[in-house]
Structure formats: structure tokens, C-alpha cells
Amino acid sequence: MGEFELIRRYFAAAACARVAPPVSLGIGDDCALLQPLAGEQLAVSTDTLVEGVHFPFDANPFLLGQRALGVSASDLAAMGATPVGFTLALTLPTASETWLQALAQGLQQMASACRMSLIGGDTTRGPLSMTLTVFGSVPAGQALLRSRARVGQCLCIGSTLGEAAAALPWVLGQRAEDAVSEPLLARYWSPRPQFELGLALRERGAAALDVSDGLLADCGHIARASSVALVIEAERVPLSEALRAAAGEQAFSLALSGGDDYCLAFTLDEADVQLLQRRGHGIQRIGRVEPGQGVRVVDAAGVALELPRHGYQHFGAD
């Protein structure tokens, strides 16, 4: 199977390759064409996933397709953007038909859950990696910038944290799958971008991001961009049953520093927190925005806890 037949069969002919406005032209020409509505800005983000770094060797291709798009699309949710489309730059050592079929099905599954179209890409031979660029649309001036946190706001999260990090021993095949691992593996392999929450946060003066490198590290980005301090109240950090069952005493530190959560962390006025909770958004208030800088975690008495500060970094801080 040549490159063009491969593109046609697994990508151009996929259901998710059908396009609708604001995509005017999808796969097949030198570029896709997007036509944002008047008054909208285009939100664009790229993520690369490399075998052996972002996912294990010999990963299930269906799950890989799902995860690659979920991880990438989560950045759109974190900006409050409505998902539109994505491109896929795929580098493969060999063109196995069963592998490609499963990858395409995983992408299709997530693309349909996210309502995004595959609008282009590139296909090359080499060590397995995937680069996805996602495109979304947001009313001009309403994107959820990291720089918008204000003193007095609440710090909140959009779901429990730590489950994906707790899944790692199973992801890496170090433990046999069991009842404990099932919900954790679902969080790892099938991240659910929080689009509805992102939309609800627009117009409310929220600062937001999606937690990918661990809550502590990512809160540091909001604190820096907004020139404020974020205070996490330890007893408010929710620990799911699944996380406790898998991680025991490590549950709290995984929730704070684990990474791969792909849920939103954001700051919001207290009245808006209550409004969103009344509307059924499963958000949790876990802290507050104060004058100052950096992130600290405090116990019920307000005393700062000593915790590891840094999330995952490819080129180390040292």
C-alpha cells in the first residue's frame, strides 16, 4: 500500500474527514481552508506524542488514537474554544493495515465525541510518533487566558485528579489489569476534554488551563501569568475512590503532582462557582487566589505543607 492509498483508505475516507462550516475544505488539497465566523478568533494548538515517551511501546492503536486526540483537544477546552478540526502528522515505521485501521477507529471515536473533523495531515516513515494540531473557534476577546486570575477568586478544578498518573504501572504492563485499574486506565486512555465547562467559564473573567503536567506545576503557570499566589487547601482536594484504592498513601501526592489529568483548573469568583455548581457542572473549589506569587498547599490550620514542586519536564529544570 502506497502513501496515497494509505491516506485515502484510513484518513480521507474516514467519517470524521467529512467537513462542515467553519471548515470550507478538508483533506485533498495543499491546505485545508477554514472560515471563522465574523467576530470569532481561531484557537490553534499542537501536541506531539512520541512512542516510548508519551505512550508505551506496542500500545493498543485504538486507544492511542483516542488518547492522542483527547489530549490535544483538551487545550481547546482550556481556552473556552469550540472544537472545529484537527490535522494529523503521522510517522510510522511500517504500514500495518490492522494497526492503521484500529488507530483510525480510535481517532474516529474521539473525533465524533469532540465533534471535530480531520482536515489534513502528513504521513511519513520513521519511529512512531503523532503530531496533532487542533483548531477551535472562540468569540474575540473571550478566550480563557492564564493571565486573568484575580486576587479574591476561588481556585477550582473540573474533575478529580491523579487517576491517570495512578494508571501508569498498568499502562506500562508492570501490573495485570484488574477491577482497580479499570477506571484509572479509562482516565489515561480516554481523556475527556471539558468543552462544556470551558464554554461556561467564558464571559466570567476566569483564568484557566488544562492540567497536563500535574496540578501544582500547572497552577504555577497561572500564578506566574497573573502575578498572583495560588493557595491550595489540602483538605479540599478530592481523592476518588479509584485513586485511593490504587495509590493508598500516595493518593494525595498523585492528585497534586501526577499529571496526564486533562481536566480544567481555573480561577473564578465565588458567586460564579456556586452558579456553575447549581447548573450541574461537577466542579470543586480547592483553594483561592491571594496577593503574592507561586503556589502553596496549606492544611486546615493554614500551615504550608512541604511538597514536590515540579511536574514532568522533558528537559529537566536542573
Q: Which residues bind ligand ADP (CB under 6 A)?
A: 7, 11, 27-30, 88, 90, 118, 120-123
Q: Which range of residues in 29-37, 96-104, 113-121, 296-304 is near Mg ion by CB under 5 A?
A: 29-37
Q: Within 10 Å of residue 174's Cβ, how many Cβ atoms? A: 8
Dist. CA 157–CA 238, nearest whole Å = 10
CB 227 within 8 A of CB 149: no
Identity of the residue, 111 or 297, whose beta carbon is nearer to ligand ADP in the bound complex: 111
Identity of the residue, 1 or 271, whose beta carbon is nearer to ligand ADP in the bound complex: 1
Identity of the residue, 65 or 121, whose beta carbon is nearer to Mg ion in the bound complex: 121
- Longest CA span, the chain: 65
Identity of the residue, 133 or 212, whose beta carbon is nearer to ligand ADP in the bound complex: 133
Q: Which does 273 bind (CB under 5 to 8 A by kind): Mg ion, ligand ADP, none?
A: none
Identity of the residue, 84 or 247, whose beta carbon is nearer to ligand ADP in the bound complex: 84
Strands 82-92 and 129-139: antiparallel
CB 142 within 8 A of CB 160: no
Identity of the residue, 30 or 318, whose beta carbon is nearer to Mg ion in the bound complex: 30
Identity of the residue, 9 or 244, whose beta carbon is nearer to ligand ADP in the bound complex: 9
Q: Which does 92 bind (CB under 5 to 8 A by kind): ligand ADP, Mg ion, none?
A: none
| Coil, strand or helix at 79 | helix
In the complex, what is the shortest distance from the CB of residue 25 to ligand ADP, in angstroms, rounded to a whole number?
A: 9
Q: Which does 123 bind (CB under 5 to 8 A by kind): Mg ion, ligand ADP, none?
A: ligand ADP
Dist. CA 98–CA 231, nearest whole Å = 49
In the complex, what is the shortest distance from the CB of residue 30 to Mg ion, in angstroms, rounded to a whole number?
A: 4
- Check residue 276 and give left, alpha or beta (phi > 0: left; psi -120 to 50: alpha): alpha
Q: Which does 121 bind (CB under 5 to 8 A by kind): Mg ion, ligand ADP, none?
A: ligand ADP
Dist. CA 68–CA 105, nearest whole Å = 12
In the complex, what is the shortest distance from the CB of residue 32 to Mg ion, in angstroms, rounded to a whole number?
A: 11
Binding flag, residue 235, Mg ion (CB under 5 A)? no
In the complex, what is the shortest distance from the CB of residue 253 to ligand ADP, in angstroms, rounded to a whole number?
A: 39
Q: Which of 111, 130, 108 has the alpha carbon at shortest distance from 121?
A: 130
In the complex, what is the shortest distance from the CB of residue 90 to ligand ADP, in angstroms, rounded to a whole number?
A: 4
C-alpha 96: how far from chain center: 28
Strands (E), 174-247: 207-210, 229-233
In the complex, what is the shortest distance from the CB of residue 100 to ligand ADP, in angstroms, rounded to a whole number?
A: 10
Q: Specify the residue for cell string 498513601.
A: 249
What does the DSSP 8-state code read for residue 27?
Answer: B
Binding flag, residue 30, Mg ion (CB under 5 A)? yes
Binding flag, residue 29, Mg ion (CB under 5 A)? no
Q: Specify the residue for cell string 514532568.
A: 312
Contacting residues toward Mg ion, per CB under 5 A = 30
